[in-house]
Amino acid sequence: MQEDRRGPWTARYAAFEDIASGLCLAAGMTLILYGVVMRYVFSTPLYWVDEISTYLTVWGALLGWSVAERDRRHIRVTLLFDRLPPPVRRATALVASLVSAGFCFFLAYMAWVLETRYVTSGQRTLNTQSPLWIVYSVVPLAALMLGGRYAAESLDLLRGGATQDPDAPAPDAAVSS
């Protein structure tokens, strides 16, 4: 059993991130395989498979943003960062985390504005006629999740936590007990 150093709620949230992104990706890939089999083996292409599988795969990738940040798997350019003195490195990491959090929260807000327009306009997808607000609902959620991760990283840096060392474990990474 894995236990998180910051408590059970953080561990549950990390599990939610993993399960949500993993299920969406797995469902999207399964639908792609199903579509290929139906099209090329049974000569019965299904019009809805491409659309739904695309949405699920993109949802999984977007929900995976915060998983990648949690596990420090996002691309980081550290050529200059690693050469900075520790106090400047900490300040740089803090500014980068704050700017990233701000961008994510702004993205969440703008995505919410777009969502309300889709709800009021009643726009639908081309093939399945699904409401567009459902399709795009993952964007504000994913942006909030990633923004929360950057905000937590900023708080950790303000409290004297480690700077963004790519080789160090993430501050709330699960540890074996």
Mind listing the pLDDT tens digit for each residue in 33-63?
A: 999 999 999 999 998 999 999 999 999 999 9
- In this prediction, residue 160 carries a pLDDT of 84
Q: Say how many domains are in the chain.
A: 1
pTM metric for this prediction: 0.83
* Domain carrying residue 79: 2-167
176, part of any domain = no
Residues 6 or more apart whose Cβ sits within 8 Å of residue 52: 31, 128
137, part of any domain = yes
At 111, is the secondary structure helix, strand, or coil? helix
Query: What is the Cα–Cα distance from 170 to 162, expressed in whole angstroms?
Result: 9
175, part of any domain = no
- Per-residue pLDDT reduced to its tens digit, 97-139: 999 999 999 999 999 999 999 999 999 999 999 999 999 999 9
What is the dihedral angle through the alpha carbons of 130, 134, 138, 140, rounded to the nearest 10 degrees?
140
- In this prediction, residue 49 carries a pLDDT of 95
- Per-residue pLDDT reduced to its tens digit, 14-28: 999 999 999 999 999
